[in-house]
Amino acid sequence: MAMIPPLDSKEVEWLLREKYNGKETPEFEADVLRLKKGEPLAYVIGWIPFYDCKIDVSLHPMIPRPETEFWVERAVAELTALGKPMLRLADTFSGSGCIGVALLKHLPNATVDISEFDPKLTEQLRINVRLNGIDESRAKCWAGNALEGLTGTYDAIFANPPYIDPKAIPEMDESVINFEPHLSLFAGDRGLDYVKIIINEGRKFLNEGGTFYVECDAHQREWIEELLVGTPWKHEFWLDQYDQIRFLILRK
């Protein structure tokens, strides 16, 4: 099992600045102990930046990652270039709502249906819509597993589903295993359970010419290619900022 990494002085500095305005209080010292035990900084502070948004994680959704931010920014550029007066979008497997909120912030012509399987996180979605000053009439937030939160058809659908094989647990950071929701991390059949659902059922939720943006893992590419054989999807893979395959793009 991976060991808890040593305390990061930069994380301590950020905690002191962002949460305590530079004052070393007893509460600050208690939070440093939380960091020493491996609790992620985002949970200790209570929020994390994501693509020009402030994402509250007080209800402990999966913490948004820089890789996700990277591909969402690229997708926003692609959707902006379409020049459509209105966009109907969806963010499934949403967790914190970070993707949906970023879409709403950067695409003022969009409405977004945001869904997450864990019912207690429905309020987390709403918190982040409000926190970022977004008109709540543009966002519908509800609980729904996989594609259950989708109604009608969309110009684009975003999905960051659980895609880690549980067999990988011994290789993962203890801070992730001990503190982040396993429901958002792990899926069966080599981590592909939800990717298969998207490939098999996703097209019916897209308008003609629509796109399904899906986060995945580099080593899954060959398996995903096999799943796509004989389907009508047009597909491509995008690299993340570290030049690793991270995103499956399915086009109708």
pLDDT digits (tens, 9 = 90+) for 53-111: 999 999 999 999 999 999 999 999 999 999 999 999 999 999 999 999 999 999 999 99
Q: Kindly report whether the global pTM for this prediction surpasses the value 0.85.
A: yes
Q: Which two tokens stand for residue 121?
A: 């996180």
Same domain, 32 and 58: no
Q: Does residue 186 contact residue 155 with C-beta atoms inside 8 Å? A: no
Q: What percent of the chain has pLDDT over 90?
A: 85
Same domain, 173 and 145: yes
Residue that is written with structure tokens 């020009």 in the block: 52
Q: Is 149 exposed, middle or buried (0-12, 13-18, 19+ CB in 10 A)?
A: buried
pLDDT of residue 8: 82
Q: Give buried/exposed letters for 30-49 (b at 16+ CB in 10 A, else e).
A: ebbeebeebbbbbbbbebbe
Domain count, the chain: 2
Taking alpha carbons only, the member of 159, 167, 148 closest to residue 195 is: 159
Structural domain for 23, as ranges: 1-45
What CATH number did the domain enclosing 88 receive?
3.40.50.150
Residue 2 has pLDDT above 60, yes or no: no
The one-character DSSP state at 152 is S
Same domain, 164 and 225: yes
pLDDT tens-digit profile of 119-157? 889 999 999 999 999 999 999 999 988 898 899 999 999
Same domain, 77 and 159: yes
Residue 1 has pLDDT above 50, yes or no: no
Same domain, 28 and 97: no
Taking alpha carbons only, the member of 42, 82, 129 closest to residue 34 is: 42
pLDDT of residue 183: 85
**pLDDT category of residue 5 using cuts at 50, 70 and 90:** low
